[in-house]
Homo-oligomer: A and B are copies of this chain.
Amino acid sequence: MSFRYPNGKLYTAAKHAPSPRPTNRGNRGMRLEDDINDSISYYRNRKTAVIHKKPTPVQIVNVDYPARSRAKITEAYFRQASTTDYNGIYRGYHLDFEAKETRQKQSFPFKNFHDHQLNHLAAISDQGGCAFLILQFVESEEIFVIKADVFLQLKEESTRKSLQKSVIAAHSVSIKRTYTPPIDFLPAVDQLFF
């Protein structure tokens, strides 16, 4: 089965399939999210950090209670989220971030970011939290971790519809994909915030 989340992201049952992961382009889109989910689970198990992905917000309209089986939601709608997808605690600090990817090769389109996500990250930053973005260029497999306030400043100053990769690279920490965890972003957080 497959369906699209309101953000246009494709959900496919395949993404929950065991390794080896499908490597065709259609599924590559979900790999960043999967790998981050695996990474935060690894961090939780090691007690390095407690970070969770927020559930997709859904407005429930009708629920059936079939005899001898669990409650079944038969009518519900996607709601607009008001925060980012990820938050938690690390070294006593509040972390909050969003992970995004693009198939563009040289720049990251601003349209990939929703206002509610950027406003939320700005609010977290203002409160003294560690707010950041994990940005992946799918084609080159490059991953950057950038502070939310730096990104917002660059977006503010930009006259384009996207942020050039060279600019991102100059203002962020680049990370490599590994195995345990797949995306080891906490050392980048150390470097950016501590």
Q: Does A22 have its Cβ within 8 Å of any Cβ on chain B?
A: no
Q: Does A14 have its Cβ within 8 Å of any Cβ on chain B?
A: no
Question: Given A3-B63, A94-B89, A129-B92, are A123 and B73 also a contact pair (CB < 8 Å)?
Answer: no
Q: Does A25 have its Cβ within 8 Å of any Cβ on chain B?
A: no
| A77 neighbours in B (Cβ, 8 Å) | 70-73
Q: Does A19 have its Cβ within 8 Å of any Cβ on chain B?
A: no
Q: Does A164 have its Cβ within 8 Å of any Cβ on chain B?
A: no
Interface size class on chain A is 35 or more
| A159 neighbours in B (Cβ, 8 Å) | none
The CA-CA distance from A127 to B186 in the complex, in Å, is 15
| A81 neighbours in B (Cβ, 8 Å) | 55
Which A positions have Cβ atoms within 8 angstroms of B? Answer: 1, 3-4, 6, 11, 44, 47, 49-50, 52, 54-58, 60-63, 70-79, 81-83, 87-94, 96, 120, 123-124, 126-129
- What 9 additional pairs, Cβ within 8 angstroms, besides A55-B81, A76-B76, A94-B129? A47-B127, A52-B82, A58-B76, A72-B77, A88-B94, A89-B94, A89-B128, A92-B94, A93-B94
